[in-house]
Structure 1
């Protein structure tokens, strides 16, 4: 009788674990590569900016733990942080959805939710995701070509202008209005945000700092050029660039806006007086935005030292659905401020304009002294 010889193949537990880990690693790498190929634009695939944009969506704790594998001091400093799970990291790499941050998936489904994609750099008193700065869009009839608007635009003249100005104040959304004076309308051709910019300029001028306050009707320019409201910063850019070309002395650029949050969020009582609160907005969609952020942060802390509670903080804004530059790439000393909200009065706004001008005045004189000492 012949016996057929049989072969028994044994597989150790270590081999099985290695195989499983290899498969998981392959799946994760595949997800990462596919995600980068599909999320990066054709013009910048594999460029450093694409990598920056891609990784900026990941949890910061992940990078700290990765670096901590080489330098244990990072893990000691981040002892209160939990180690991200492999599954959540893989999901975030593949889909840019963070299960711990509902904004990452709600924002794709809810219209207007992209406002909550902003990043709070420095939070002032009461500032959180529920009190972020909100921009109000003009009503549909705001872009009807009206002769009255054109007539008013032709009569506009700068109220404060110096040939050797150091500061240029512009109002990209120049018709942003305040309900106490606009009959409840969000936009108006008179008694709007321009009055606040003029007040800031007046105080700087009285302090001996030459200012150019631009009062161009940028909204009217959009109508004349047949452009959408989203192109407002393109038009105001032409205004700022023209000012720079005419005056080499210009160093500081302030774009003044008003928020759409209600009165209780945009108002603070300081020394017994109601004042419109200020929010600094920094555009992140240009390479040198960190310098603009440093300026905004510095002014925030100075404002808080002198007027505790007046600043709502510093906000980063960029990505899809917004301009993301706000012409701040034109100068490291360019800033965008949201002064007050839609329900504030000019008494409240003027007090804040004076306070803000005082802070800026001191900062500018310090910078001029440093330049003279070099």
Structure 2
């Protein structure tokens, strides 16, 4: 038989359980109301651009990486971040959210806190490289007192990390053997010639970097790029021109009735130990080129790919890696693409007359 004290303890436990139940029910109700309110916004939330499809493209063409989904692609995430920067309003939803955050440390107005609470691993992950916006930026300063660009001096630099890369329809091989220069050199020369038509000087290096080691080619090519920039401080943009390893159907476009090798623009973000301080400037430059190509030659650009490497792009704020066609394209198709790229670069330079 239970004593009075034991019966009292049992009654207290039952009452506490009932209290916990009702408190939990209230919290769940408040949570539901707050979430419904948070997601009833009419504002459209853009999904972050993934590195595997064009930066200006609005339609979905490929699955983004999971990090980008968590940090940028969750509906309501970007909106919540914007709301935090605005003025706070005391609404029933905000009061409920504040009460819930006090109890759980989860801010229902900020989807990142919800994600972090549900997925512990995410809390330890930081997005170290925020996506740049879609706004256009001026490449060259137009401040008073600056002098016009001297077109008699090289404004464009061109080199090739993988100098042996070739096109099978032209050479019968995708790489020239034994340290020979490949067809990719002719592609760079085509860009130089096109710039000359606009009286814009361009300098090209044909130095071999991928022999004897193809995998270690970026070390020697960095030396070449540094020297090119030191010898030609007038250079405003520098390109490492390659060809991709793909299928022709993905890298060929009909432009003005003729086949042309499509151009992929690679922007290196860097990684720990290989920092890339210019990646956002390079990204803005890439977006400008991509937009111009889409405007004048729709289909020529394959878009922008962000990569976690450096590819010598830390050397200059307008340094990019270009993949021109693939091994199944011809040199003629790649050279045709360089002519169109030259038109776009000349237009960009004309619109930014001051350095």
**TM-score category by the smaller chain?**
0.5 to 0.7
User: In the TM superposition, what is the alpha-carbon distance from 1:57 to its structure 2 partner?
Assistant: 7.3
Residues 164 and 210 of structure 1 are in contact (CA less than 8 Å); yes or no, is this contact kept in structure 2?
Answer: yes
Aligned partner of residue 360 in structure 1, secondary structure: helix
What aligned pairs does 1:210-225 form with structure 2 within 5 A after superposition?
A: 210-220=201-211, 223=212
Compared CA separation, residues 350 and 14, structure 1 to 2 (3 A):
farther
User: More relative contact order in 1 or in 2 (CA 8 Å, sep 6+)?
Assistant: 2
User: In the TM superposition, what is the alpha-carbon distance from 1:72 to its structure 2 partner?
Assistant: 9.7
Which residue matches 2:252? 267
Q: Give, in whole Å, the separation in 1 of the partners of 2:326 and 2:18.
A: 65
Aligned partner of residue 268 in structure 1, secondary structure: strand
Structure-1-length-normalised TM-score: 0.59
Identify which of 59, 66, 73 aligns with 2:71.
Answer: 59
User: In the TM superposition, what is the alpha-carbon distance from 1:304 to its structure 2 partner?
Assistant: 1.4
What aligned pairs does 1:168-247 form with structure 2 within 5 A after superposition?
A: 168-188=157-177, 189-220=180-211, 223=212, 229-247=214-232
RMSD: 3.5
Aligned partner of residue 244 in structure 2, secondary structure: coil
What aligned pairs does 1:314-329 form with structure 2 within 5 A after superposition?
A: 314-318=304-308, 324-329=309-314
Q: Give, in whole Å, the separation in 2 of the partners of 1:283 and 1:297.
A: 13
Q: Identify unmatched segments of 5+ residues in structure 2.
A: 28-65, 89-110, 126-130, 135-150, 271-275
1:337 aligns with 2:322: yes
Which residue matches 2:290? 300
What aligned pairs does 1:114-125 form with structure 2 within 5 A after superposition?
A: none
Superposed CA offset, 1:109-154 (max 9, x none): xxxxxxxxxx9x99xxxxxxxxxxxxxxxxxxxxxxxxxxxxxxxx
Residues 157 and 235 of structure 2 are in contact (CA less than 8 Å); yes or no, is this contact kept in structure 1?
Answer: yes
1:93 aligns with 2:122: yes
Which residue matches 1:167? 156
Compared CA separation, residues 211 and 86, structure 1 to 2 (3 A):
closer
Residues 166 and 174 of structure 2 are in contact (CA less than 8 Å); yes or no, is this contact kept in structure 1?
Answer: yes
User: In the TM superposition, what is the alpha-carbon distance from 1:340 to its structure 2 partner?
Assistant: 1.1
Structure-2-length-normalised TM-score: 0.62
User: In the TM superposition, what is the alpha-carbon distance from 1:56 to its structure 2 partner?
Assistant: 6.0
Q: Give, in whole Å, the separation in 2 of the partners of 1:340 and 1:2.
A: 86
1:251 aligns with 2:242: no
Higher helix share: 1
Residues 181 and 191 of structure 1 are in contact (CA less than 8 Å); yes or no, is this contact kept in structure 2?
Answer: no
Q: Give, in whole Å, the separation in 1 of the partners of 2:194 and 2:312.
A: 24
Q: Give, in whole Å, the separation in 2 of the partners of 1:301 and 1:177.
A: 28
1:283 aligns with 2:283: no
Q: Give, in whole Å, the separation in 1 of the partners of 2:285 and 2:262.
A: 18
Residues 163 and 247 of structure 1 are in contact (CA less than 8 Å); yes or no, is this contact kept in structure 2?
Answer: no
1:358 aligns with 2:331: no
